[in-house]
Amino acid sequence: MNYDIKDDKLAVDGELRIEWANQSMPVLNRIKERFKTEKPLAGVSVAACLHVTTETASLMQTLQAGGANVWLCASNPLSTQDDVAAALVVNHKMPVFAIKGEDNKTYYKHINAVLDPMPQYTMDDGADLVSTLHSERTDLMKNVIGGTEETTTGIIRLKSMAKDGILKYPIIAVNDAQTKHFFDNRYGTGQSTIDGIIRATNRLLAGSFFVVCGYGWCGRGLAMRARGMGANVIVTEINPLPALEAVMDGFTVMPIGDAAKIGDFFCTVTGNINVIRKEHIETMKSGAILSNSGHFNVELDLEGLNNISASKRTIRPFVEEYKLKNGKLINVLGEGRLINLAAAEGHPSSVMDMSFANQALSLEYLVKNKGKLKPDVYTVPQDIDKAIAKEKLKAMGIEIDVLTPDQAKYLASWDMGT
């Protein structure tokens, strides 16, 4: 079996951590048990480009249980957990191509490696796999039947491909499921981003000024958790609606140009480029800490920062200290890459449980509906989304009410007023 990982000997540690994660993934485990008997993915080949974490390992095992052959690579050069990659290769005979800290060339070599076996389905996080397939590997397109996409950024890319008429096969936007973005983006990003910043810096958040750039689902979660740690949270936005929501959620809202002068911590979660630029960095307090939790490492203008810097050094793991020409010290965490996966372990398992249940069930849906969907971006079918919420509540031991017959009739009627 062909594979490329850091070290096979890490498999023992990886396996234990996968087992730990599995204990908090009841919904995915139920799907895995059903897949084992029903084999809905029998003989199906899947190229997966995901963060190689303990949670992803559980998803990969679920697909294997369903009968799929899976090739896995990383969706970010810094997010791979090398022990997990080793456990998948050694114990689960899965071809994995991912090494934490791989350079850009290796990152794309690994993407190409999972495409080489001519997959029928793609499972992507950020759309690098799909865009490589549509640009450099068009020869493989005839085998591809469908795909899924995990994240906001990937879906934006795919929708623009669909709009330009370039997208060649149907892709399910897992992120658009309510059981994904309401929970993973908000509570997952909220907790794991704070976790990454703290693990990297060991600095106190209480009493600090914490600037959150972007108030989408990820920004909402991050702002909420930073406030919970006692920080004074400032939100920056470009869209009046979420900006207004942030104001009414009790946060201070102002342009990044103003926030730059106040913040101790900055974290971008916008999905856009050059959100914090050199003109902002120059006005920051010495010692400011910059990080990103958006999908790509484009939100901090690192090139601009380099241009205004006299020197830089790694002061501790995941902390690059830049000395500006104006004498100030500015710290960048995790090379501006997803700090929750670079310096921590990504979202906790119990939230990935729902995200990856959506992945597994969306793939099953694509296999069942082979040939019926035109090339486009689709939302996760509502019955799947609802079934996942129901199953999660059940696993948590939480019961809810059911409509009485007269309540159901009332909701369906238009003539019953006061």
According to the binding rule CB under 6 A, does residue 56 interact with ligand ADE?
Answer: yes
According to the binding rule CB under 6 A, does residue 53 interact with ligand ADE?
Answer: yes
Task: Please identify which residue in 55, 237, 301, 391 interacts with ligand ADE, judged by CB under 6 A.
Answer: 55
Provide, rounded to whole angstroms, the least separation between the CB of residue 253 and ligand ADE. 26
**What is the rounded distance in angstroms from the CA atom of residue 222 to the CA atom of residue 217?**
9
Residue nearest ligand ADE, Cβ-based: 346
Provide, rounded to whole angstroms, the least separation between the CB of residue 276 and ligand ADE. 22
**What is the rounded distance in angstroms from the CA atom of residue 281 to the CA atom of residue 2?**
45
- Give the total of residues touching ligand ADE (CB under 6 A): 10
Interface region with ligand ADE, contact rule CB under 6 A, candidates 7-15, 45-53, 207-215, 241-249: 45-53
Provide, rounded to whole angstroms, the least separation between the CB of residue 143 and ligand ADE. 26
**What is the rounded distance in angstroms from the CA atom of residue 30 to the CA atom of residue 83?**
25
**Nearer residue to ligand ADE within complex by CB, 32 or 328:** 32
**Nearer residue to ligand ADE within complex by CB, 180 or 328:** 180
* 3-state helix vs strand vs coil in the chain, percent to 5: 50, 15, 35
**What is the rounded distance in angstroms from the CA atom of residue 75 to the CA atom of residue 122?**
12
Burial of residue 162 (number of CB atoms within 10 Å: 0-12, 13-18, 19+): middle
C-alpha distances (whole Å) from 302 to each of 37, 242, 333 are: 50, 27, 11
According to the binding rule CB under 6 A, does residue 347 interact with ligand ADE?
Answer: yes
Interface region with ligand ADE, contact rule CB under 6 A, candidates 31-39, 134-142, 163-171, 341-349: 341-349
Interface region with ligand ADE, contact rule CB under 6 A, candidates 12-20, 52-60, 218-226, 277-285: 52-60
Query: What is the identity of the amino acid at 358?
Result: N
Residue 185 is classified by DSSP as I
According to the binding rule CB under 6 A, does residue 290 interact with ligand ADE?
Answer: no
Provide, rounded to whole angstroms, the least separation between the CB of residue 146 and ligand ADE. 20
309: how many CB neighbours lie within 10 A of its CB?
Answer: 20
Handedness of CA 354, 357, 362, 365 (dihedral sign): negative
Provide, rounded to whole angstroms, the least separation between the CB of residue 380 and ligand ADE. 17
CA 370, chain centre distance (Å): 27
Q: What residues from 214 to 233 belong to the interface with ligand ADE (CB under 6 A)?
A: none
Distant-in-sequence, close-in-space partners of 372: CB < 8 Å, separation ≥ 6: none
According to the binding rule CB under 6 A, does residue 346 interact with ligand ADE?
Answer: yes
Q: What residues from 171 to 210 belong to the interface with ligand ADE (CB under 6 A)?
A: 188
**What is the rounded distance in angstroms from the CA atom of residue 151 to the CA atom of residue 135?**
20
Task: Please identify which residue in 352, 377, 388, 389 interacts with ligand ADE, judged by CB under 6 A.
Answer: 352
According to the binding rule CB under 6 A, does residue 58 interact with ligand ADE?
Answer: no
C-alpha distances (whole Å) from 270 to each of 12, 91, 152, 199, 267 are: 37, 38, 10, 22, 9
Tokens of 169: 């096969």
Interface region with ligand ADE, contact rule CB under 6 A, candidates 53-61, 260-268, 306-314, 405-413: 53-61
According to the binding rule CB under 6 A, does residue 291 interact with ligand ADE?
Answer: no
Interface region with ligand ADE, contact rule CB under 6 A, candidates 292-300, 307-315, 346-354, 388-396: 346-354
Provide, rounded to whole angstroms, the least separation between the CB of residue 348 and ligand ADE. 7
According to the binding rule CB under 6 A, does residue 328 interact with ligand ADE?
Answer: no
According to the binding rule CB under 6 A, does residue 293 interact with ligand ADE?
Answer: no
Q: Any idea what the Cα angle at residue 195 is, between residues 205 and 71, rounded to 5°?
A: 160
**What is the rounded distance in angstroms from the CA atom of residue 362 to the CA atom of residue 360?**
6
**Nearer residue to ligand ADE within complex by CB, 336 or 346:** 346
Helix locations, 71-205, DSSP H: 82-92, 104-115, 128-135, 152-163, 178-180, 189-201
By CB under 6 A, name the binding residues for ligand ADE: 50-51, 53, 55-56, 188, 341, 346-347, 352
